[in-house]
Amino acid sequence: MTGAINVLLADDHVVVRAGTRQLLERHPDIQVVGEASTGREAVELADTLAPDVVVMDVRMPDGGGIDATKRIKTAHPDMAVLVLTAHDDDEYVFALLQAGANGYLLKTAEADELVKAIRTVIKGELALSPSVAGKVVSQFTSGKTLPDVLSNIKHDYGGLTDREMDILRLVGKGLTNKEIGRTLFISDRTVQAHLSNIFSKLDVNSRTEAVMHAVRHGWIAPGHAA
């Protein structure tokens, strides 16, 4: 992407919007083009201002973040919505992801985390707070169904090969090395070699960290498992 990232802030607290605007505009590649205090206003300004990213709170008057996200993503599928909220309840997390949110960040995040998340979602990748990523991993490994909300997200999979991604998906389903080997018709030793390569490429130290990394970046999710 060339030029500044145009951002719309949607939050019903004036002080929060002012503080967020101030910290974002310290970065020359980010420009705040508008502010909304209600869900309805967020939808209207998304239509008129056509921002690249909408930074969306959950609880707002007149529609709220869930409804606003649904309407924005329906009208503008390529517009990124990054949730920024104090709430990490399951009902909000999964409702926003189902609505099409490209990221979910908590207001306890550091300033540089928000900036990084904005730059991440604008590339078509998923940005999640660690606690939210953990919820998604738990949902994924439990076998429960969550609609595939990540199908339009672009990936390069951090340099992982197709075979390594196959193994990572199976790890995410909770399979052991032996079970993965039987599924892919390869030896346990070969599975372990692939896992070592995965850990090295993703700079992680465990199977759980690898899966959380993949979910956080939108590479695997419920509905994507092999």
CA distance to 55, 216, 221, per residue, from 144 (Å): 29, 18, 11
| pLDDT at site 135 | 75
Which residues of the chain form beta strands (DSSP E)?
5-10, 30-36, 53-56, 80-85, 103-106, 127-128
Neighbour-count burial of 107, counting CB atoms closer than 10 A to its CB (0-12 exposed, 13-18 middle, 19+ buried): middle
| pLDDT at site 89 | 81
Domains in the chain, CATH or no CATH each: 5-128 (3.40.50.2300), 137-216 (1.10.10.10)
Neighbour-count burial of 74, counting CB atoms closer than 10 A to its CB (0-12 exposed, 13-18 middle, 19+ buried): exposed
| pLDDT at site 151 | 46
| pLDDT at site 158 | 73
Between 151 and 65, the more confident residue is 65
| pLDDT at site 141 | 56
Whether residue 40 has pLDDT greater than 90 = yes
132 band by pLDDT with thresholds 50, 70 and 90: confident
pLDDT digits (tens, 9 = 90+) for 154-208: 456 778 888 888 899 888 888 889 999 999 889 989 999 999 999 988 888 888 8
- Mean pLDDT computed over every residue of the chain: 85
